[in-house]
Structure 1
């Protein structure tokens, strides 16, 4: 049985996807940046490691020249009470603006939302600051470290080819918006037709078990869970064989068997060995999903989706949270395709 935890490196998978612009990510002190293959960038700023009022500022911006930067700030504490008043944003104890807020069911707390016209003033005020504080009445309810913010925004400008233009967030110049190249179009994938899940075998055939042994999987029933089968088409069946794991990540080997009984590792774009972490297949959508936790609480790691096209599983979406900072929601997208 394999003892390693298998986690797909999704950023690398996106970069290796043929004909697709490379995606990228980077971190700068308390800030991280993830840009996808369409040059959409998502920037996140976190509380400092010793901060007692955790909050996450999320800035997203599309790759088009005229795309506006959107900013939301998640207050992680589910007990946060704003007292019915709009929160106040301060940089180093200097009031910058008030903003509107909404209850966030996903993050479990409150989300502060900036209007488009507020984003520029906030970033301008924060550029030379050290700490962004969210205050409700007289009480501080969240803080975001500004260490690394300028470098992160400059990096996003560079990834989006905005540096030196009037559209840049930090690396501004006099060049017009027309200088920003149009982002690439999303790859188009066509899902194979859905098929009835009838006539499925109850046990994996010998050829599947042989591939499991070759991959050092434990093929004994019940030791790591039961093998699963799904019908991909009239003449193809997909098998998942449990292949080891640890405390919170469990790998599965995916094998496709044809009508003649021939077995081959499933062709998962970006993956060479047919292994995926915490994975499952949905025959209704023809989507195979995988999710690898960077640590047990699930606040970092990678996830991916592949769509069955009739010949292979093509990567349709990948997300990544490259830093473990206590935020397990709304991971940035590093690759996306249009599925039809």
Structure 2
């Protein structure tokens, strides 16, 4: 039986009311923002209070969070998520890529028992930690619970992208209170990597290494080949850059690159740690390179022959030390037999470092 007109009107009114209620209470109507970038998560509430966090499910201290509310003058808070309370009178030490950045007495942390969080509000220490994290890859947090010293490890991969997303959500991009792209910050808005494709673009302080003189470290190279290969200058700190340039004529399928650290107008040649059959040593060159700006990661693949079925593969992280930046070897693989079988590619070749 067809509904009466009055019944039809009641049905339409009920439908509109239900649709309105659904739109008001449905999760899709919330302004909440979330993004996962590699090992970093950014979660922003309806009020645009944002948590940038890195997570380790296997640890007693299982998350490190940089929390900031949306107001213009809001400071950044450091939040530590724990499963057990920290030992009174102890300290929390935070190291990035092996370098100690901050040491926080537990007495200076506020504990929120309802959510198992410790909160620290020291602006100078948090600012220092963020700056180190921008160029770091590995965060280690040392602490004590129930008299036991413990270390939790966290990845910082994606940290810069997380800061940028947090600034975007809170409307801080280009402002002085931005965590990454702050207004008036030198070189912050410039491209993080500058391509170098001609001899004239090489900084004059090291250009002599590319001259035609027999004593030139990287001499004997045609400028057209240099342009085809290209080098780079990558910003890796507030005033620190890594310069990587083709060095020497190379061969049919292998091209060496040399590296310098630039701080202001000063240049320092950088060696690369490598493994040999006799043990650890260093090299002035890396071959057939690839640079990952976000990870601060350099890879080199020396081909035993053009087929690429043999040779050596190395991976380094560009890391800040007390005396400056340095390459740290994190992976070295070798396949000596040129047998026509690529063995799944250099990522799967037998490992020299770390030992299998």
TM-score, structure 2 as length reference: 0.38
| Structure with larger Rg | 2
